[in-house]
Amino acid sequence: MKPWVRRLGRGLAVLIGIAVGAALLVLFVANRQAPERQEARASATPVRVIEVRPLAFRLEARGHGVARPAETWQAVANVAGRVVERHPDLESGTLLPKGTLLLALDPSRYELAIAEAEAELASLAGELAQIEAEEKNTRRLLGLEQQALALAEQELSRIERLAASGSVSGSRRDEQRRNTLGQRQAVASLENSLALLPARREVLEAQRERAAVRLAQAHVDLDDTRFEAPYDLRLGEVSVEMHQFVASGQRLFLAESLAAAEVEAHIPIAMMRQLLAAVMPEAPLGEALDLTEGLDLAERLDFSAVTAELSLVGAEGVGWTGELVRVASGLDPTTRTVRAVVRVDHPYRDARPPDRPPLQRDMYVRTRLTAASPQPRLAIPASAVHQGEVWRVDAEQRLARREVSVAFTQRDLAVIEAGLEPGERVVVDDLPAAIVGMALDPRRDEALEASIAEQAQP
């Protein structure tokens, strides 16, 4: 075949192919259909929600502390002496009733001091009586001597007149002068004796007062030789034995009252501030209290509105009910916590060791203070607050974010101060992707709402 024929055949084939392609393209374009538009429907995410409502709330403050007796007697010898009596049960840990004679020192030297002081008082009383008698006798003699002096003065005047006229000799006049002078001297001597009597009486009275003081001191010293229980007590450390000589100022034994025990609980200042604000009528809840000031808080706070519960650490079911009696001045220098003192009356009552021991010294206890909030509070689970925001369900069942102000947290609850209103629905689930506006399928968790109400009133 000739070459030009082959070239012509290939050209015709290309032209035919192009024509067929163009025809097919025109056919497809003429017969095309518009694409159907389908909208994908987003699926709603199921979530648990709670309805926020005001709840009766009890504020709570927790801490720990060490128990101690409310009243302690450290017996110290005020006088020296040998131990002549010692209670047979004077040992550490013994319980003894009020009025029990615990210890007695030798009283002989103080009984002798009492006898000596009484004898001296009797002697001084006799001397004072003697002075009274001397005063009466001296006054009586002075009266007589004054009368005799008056007569002597009259006689001297008569003799002076006679001597002037020459009727009496000079020797007679001189003799009368000597008699009158002697009488004057006798009167002056008696007056001087009377003048000295008050000074002597004052000296004796001072001596009598000094002897009375010695007698009173001797009686006090005698009483100090006996050590009787001033109240129902439990003995601590005892450091004295029978026949031992005790020096003045020596410690004998330690005794603790059974009437009451105290626990100085160390409580975080934030918890205590909320609790105290609730029992301060003139301060709204949440107002800061400067607990470092030297305030007499008992005058401003109603401690009777606070319920105090104590439980022994390490022993489940062992606890006591007490009352908050005071807040110690200042903060603990180590932990910077508030020192709340809780008193437990009759800690040995209903004690049944070892199941229920009494509240004793150095027991480490957990303290829980509660008080009713002055007004209802909005409380939600603390896990429902995400960096200052909560997730809520709006009226269109979509997710919305809301900034909230948390007044404080207690246990697993967050108390909302601002940002939520009663009746709003709050999401309590932790969503992997919380996108504003996402569709939600809310399901109310009534069991959680009941649990929140229960936690609000612990």
User: Model confidence over 82-128: pLDDT tens digits?
Assistant: 999 999 999 998 999 999 999 999 999 999 999 999 999 999 999 88
Contacts of 279 (CB under 8 A, 6+ apart): 301, 302, 303, 305, 306, 371
Contacts of 185 (CB under 8 A, 6+ apart): none
Q: Could you give the CA distance from residue 227 to residue 101 in angstroms, rounded to a whole number?
A: 6
pTM, two decimals, is 0.66
Q: Is the peptide bond before 354 cis (omega within 30 degrees of 0)?
A: yes
Q: Which of 326, 330, 329 is nearest to 340 (CA)?
A: 326
Name beta bridge partners: 426.
50, 392
Name beta bridge partners: 331.
338
Tell the residue number behind the tokens 């009275």, with chain if given.
Answer: 205
Give the CA count within 13 Å in the CB-facing half-sphere of 325.
13
Phi, psi of 10 (to 5 degrees): -65, -35
Beta pairing class for 440-444 and 45-51: parallel
**Pair 437, 399: CB distance under 8 Å:** yes
Contacts of 37 (CB under 8 A, 6+ apart): none
Per-residue pLDDT of the chain (458 residues; tens, 9 = 90+): 556 556 666 666 666 767 666 666 666 666 666 555 544 445 778 888 888 888 888 888 999 999 999 999 999 999 999 999 999 999 998 999 999 999 999 999 999 999 999 999 999 999 889 888 888 888 888 888 888 888 888 887 888 787 777 777 778 777 888 888 888 888 888 888 888 888 888 998 999 999 999 999 999 999 999 999 999 999 999 999 999 999 999 999 999 999 999 999 999 988 888 888 887 765 444 444 554 444 455 566 778 888 899 999 988 888 899 999 888 888 888 888 889 999 999 998 888 887 788 999 999 999 999 888 888 888 888 888 888 888 888 888 888 888 988 888 888 888 888 888 888 888 888 888 778 888 888 888 888 888 888 888 87
**pLDDT for position 288:** 47
Q: Could you give the CA distance from residue 69 to residue 256 in angstroms, rounded to a whole number?
A: 6
Tell me which DSSP letter residue 437 carries.
T
Q: Could you give the CA distance from residue 414 to residue 405 in angstroms, rounded to a whole number?
A: 10
Q: Could you give the CA distance from residue 152 to residue 158 in angstroms, rounded to a whole number?
A: 10
Q: Could you give the CA distance from residue 174 to residue 157 in angstroms, rounded to a whole number?
A: 12
Phi, psi of 155 (to 5 degrees): -65, -40
DSSP, residue by residue, 158-213: HHHHHHHHTSS-HHHHHHHHHHHHHHHHHHHHHHHHHHHHHHHHHHHHHHHHHHHH
Q: Could you give the CA distance from residue 390 to residue 414 in angstroms, rounded to a whole number?
A: 11
- The model's pLDDT over 6-31, given as tens digits with 9 standing for 90+, comes to 666 666 666 676 766 666 666 666 66
Q: Could you give the CA distance from residue 45 to residue 397 in angstroms, rounded to a whole number?
A: 10
Q: Could you give the CA distance from residue 271 to residue 256 in angstroms, rounded to a whole number?
A: 32
Q: Which amino acid is at 259?
A: A
Decide: residue 127, CB within 10 A, 0-12 exposed, 13-18 middle, 19+ buried: middle
Q: Could you give the CA distance from residue 106 to residue 161 in angstroms, rounded to a whole number?
A: 83
**Both tokens assigned to 264:** 């100085």
Tell me which DSSP letter residue 440 carries.
E
Dihedral, 218, 221, 227, 229 alpha carbons, nearest 10: 80
Q: Could you give the CA distance from residue 418 to residue 440 in angstroms, rounded to a whole number?
A: 25
Q: Could you give the CA distance from residue 121 to residue 209 in angstroms, rounded to a whole number?
A: 9
